[in-house]
């Protein structure tokens, strides 16, 4: 009867944080380019594998004057994997605990980032060379107000351009930049890479470093496959510059979810040279996030604990788009008031002080297990927050929310109930 919405709304309003004054509008009127980096985890960044640099291009960005590199940024996906990360990004809500929300709730009303940017005059689109119905994207993208989906049919995929799941990342980014060069500006383009996907197989000529030497062939190939994706991202930046799209854009790149599951812990222990406790497993859910703003000059490493749910308000504020009326559960990562509290879909979480994983509480700095009392207040809040998100999705509550005014349409909710 709408009472749920009142409670959720109160929670969202009370957790709203102000934008960082210096960052608000820093990329106003620029194109927004978001890259979802398939299966990329943070442990490979600024790390090597038997003496080989795994991500030379991304490593250079961590030192770049125009890049904010977030080193304590976490994925928050569930069974919907890539599609869950897209959901988090577009809606600043949690995915569902059961199945993929892209399949189960594509008929809902949402107020996505694409919708907001569309209203600001942006041409909104996704580029991904796969079958359009994979993850139900063709249907869900309509609910998310994404104006155009450049699926595999928008690409020319020669035999030598495909491996593993489909089109290779290098020809993908090359053809994508060609497509982007013809788009009306400003545009919001979201690219989803594909090559670095389990089982991480490559053609010989794309193997730029050797395999690793553990008992897990998956992990062994992972480094090689990540190295290829890193090369593709380098090509992407070069092509954007060549086509004159670089200077007037903001480029946000994030890892979508883990690539190496807990089934490979033995091999991971060999590589990381430490035991993988539930605490370590939680910390391995970090994925890299780069916010690259050409010619801004103030880039640095950001150690703020944050997650994919925070992407939308962070990006919109950088573009100078207000989010104070948005029904969102994330917050601007650049804000002084951003809270260091990342909730995982399974109820685990990380704060700057604590990690809660496998029903145990750990000191975030030392990894030592501590009494559960320290975590308890956050355990309760994590449950509450996931619950509110689930209520919004399961009750399709955004039908009853007027984004323009921030008003709850309670009369309609009551009518609906009868």
Residues annotated as part of the active site: 82
Least CB distance from residue 137 to Mn ion, whole Å? 12
Q: What does 130 interact with, of Mn ion, ligand GP9, none (CB < 5 to 8 A by kind)?
A: ligand GP9
Which residue in 55, 76, 82, 249 binds Mn ion (CB under 5 A)? 82
On whether 257 is known to bind a ligand per the annotation, the reply is yes
Considering only residues 83 through 112, tell me which ones interact with Mn ion, judged by CB under 5 A.
Answer: none
Q: Are strands 306-307 and 73-74 parallel, antiparallel or unpaired?
A: parallel
Distance CA 162, CA 397 (A): 42
- The answer to whether 82 contacts ligand GP9 (rule: CB under 6 A) is yes
- H helical segments located in 105-245: 113-119, 137-143, 169-181, 217-242
Q: Are strands 249-255 and 289-292 parallel, antiparallel or unpaired?
A: antiparallel
Distance CA 392, CA 413 (A): 13
The encoded tokens of residue 96 equal 């569902």
**Range 15-18 contact pairs with CB under 8 angstroms and sequence separation of 24 or more:** 15/329, 15/331, 15/339, 16/324, 16/331, 17/331, 17/332, 17/335, 17/337, 17/338, 17/339, 18/335, 18/336, 18/337
- Using CA atoms, how far residue 62 sits from 55, 189, 196, 288, 296, in Å, is 11, 23, 21, 10, 15
- The answer to whether 130 contacts ligand GP9 (rule: CB under 6 A) is yes
Between 173 and 202, how does the x/- string for binding to ligand GP9 read (CB under 6 A)?
Answer: -------------------x-x--x-----
Q: Are 129 and 172 in contact (CB under 8 A)?
A: yes
Least CB distance from residue 81 to ligand GP9, whole Å? 3
On whether 128 is known to bind a ligand per the annotation, the reply is no
Q: What does 280 interact with, of Mn ion, ligand GP9, none (CB < 5 to 8 A by kind)?
A: none
Instruction: Give 152's DSSP letter.
Output: G
- The answer to whether 41 contacts Mn ion (rule: CB under 5 A) is no
Nearest to ligand GP9 of 82, 224 (CB atom): 82
Least CB distance from residue 192 to ligand GP9, whole Å? 5
- The answer to whether 196 contacts Mn ion (rule: CB under 5 A) is no
Which residue in 161, 169, 256, 326 binds Mn ion (CB under 5 A)? 256
Nearest to ligand GP9 of 8, 194 (CB atom): 194
Least CB distance from residue 372 to Mn ion, whole Å? 33
- The answer to whether 314 contacts ligand GP9 (rule: CB under 6 A) is no
Q: Are 258 and 75 in contact (CB under 8 A)?
A: yes
Distance CA 266, CA 282 (A): 16
Environment class of 103 (CB within 10 Å of its CB; exposed 0-12, middle 13-18, buried 19+)? middle
- The answer to whether 134 contacts ligand GP9 (rule: CB under 6 A) is yes
- The answer to whether 81 contacts ligand GP9 (rule: CB under 6 A) is yes
- The answer to whether 265 contacts ligand GP9 (rule: CB under 6 A) is no
Distance of CA 262 to the CA centre of its chain: 21
Q: By beta-carbon distance, which residue lies closest to Mn ion?
A: 82
Query: Which residues make up the interface to ligand GP9 (CB under 6 A)?
Result: 81-82, 128, 130, 134, 192, 194, 197
Query: Which residues make up the interface to Mn ion (CB under 5 A)?
Result: 38, 81-82, 256
User: Residues annotated in the binding site, as ranges?
Assistant: 38, 82, 197, 256-257
């Amino acid at each position: 009867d709408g009472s749920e919405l009142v409670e959720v709304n109160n929670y969202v309003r009370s957790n709203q944080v102000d934008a960082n004054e210096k960052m608000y509008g820093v990329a106003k009127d620029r194109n927004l380019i978001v890259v979802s980096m398939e299966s990329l985890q943070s442990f490979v960044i600024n790390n090597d594998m038997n003496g080989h640099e795994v991500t030379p291009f991304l490593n250079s960005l961590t030192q770049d004057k125009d890049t904010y590199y977030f080193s304590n940024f976490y994925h928050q996906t569930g069974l919907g994997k890539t599609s869950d990360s897209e959901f988090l990004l577009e809606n600043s809500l949690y995915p569902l605990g059961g199945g993929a929300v892209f399949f189960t709730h594509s008929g809902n009303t949402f107020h996505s980032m694409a919708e907001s940017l569309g209203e600001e005059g942006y041409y909104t689109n996704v580029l991904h060379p796969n079958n359009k119905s994979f993850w139900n994207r063709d249907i869900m993208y309509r609910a998310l107000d994404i104006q155009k989906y450049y699926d595999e049919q928008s690409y020319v995929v020669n035999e030598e351009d495909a491996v593993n799941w489909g089109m290779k990342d290098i020809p993908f980014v090359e053809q994508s930049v060609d497509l982007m060069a013809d788009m009306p500006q400003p545009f919001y383009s979201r690219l989803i890479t594909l090559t670095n996907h389990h089982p991480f197989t490559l053609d010989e000529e794309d193997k730029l470093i050797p395999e690793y030497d553990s008992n897990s062939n998956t992990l062994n190939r992972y480094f090689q496959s990540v190295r290829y994706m890193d090369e593709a991202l380098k090509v992407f930046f070069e092509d954007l510059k060549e086509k004159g799209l670089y200077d007037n854009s903001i480029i946000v790149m994030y890892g979508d979810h883990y690539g190496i599951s807990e089934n490979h812990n033995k091999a991971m222990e060999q590589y990381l040279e430490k035991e993988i406790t539930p605490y370590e497993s939680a910390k391995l859910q970090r994925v890299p996030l780069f916010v690259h703003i050409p010619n801004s000059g103030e880039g640095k490493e950001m150690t703020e604990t944050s997650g994919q749910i925070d992407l939308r308000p962070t990006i919109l504020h950088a573009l100078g788009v207000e989010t104070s009326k948005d029904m969102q559960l994330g917050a601007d990562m650049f804000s002084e008031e951003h809270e260091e509290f990342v909730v995982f879909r399974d109820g685990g979480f990380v704060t700057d002080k604590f990690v809660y994983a496998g029903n145990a509480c750990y000191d975030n700095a030392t990894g030592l297990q501590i009494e559960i009392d320290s975590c308890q207040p956050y355990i309760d809040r994590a449950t509450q927050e996931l619950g509110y998100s689930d209520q919004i999705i399961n009750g399709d509550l955004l039908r009853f929310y007027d984004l323009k005014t921030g008003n709850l349409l309670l009369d309609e909710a009551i009518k609906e109930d009868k």
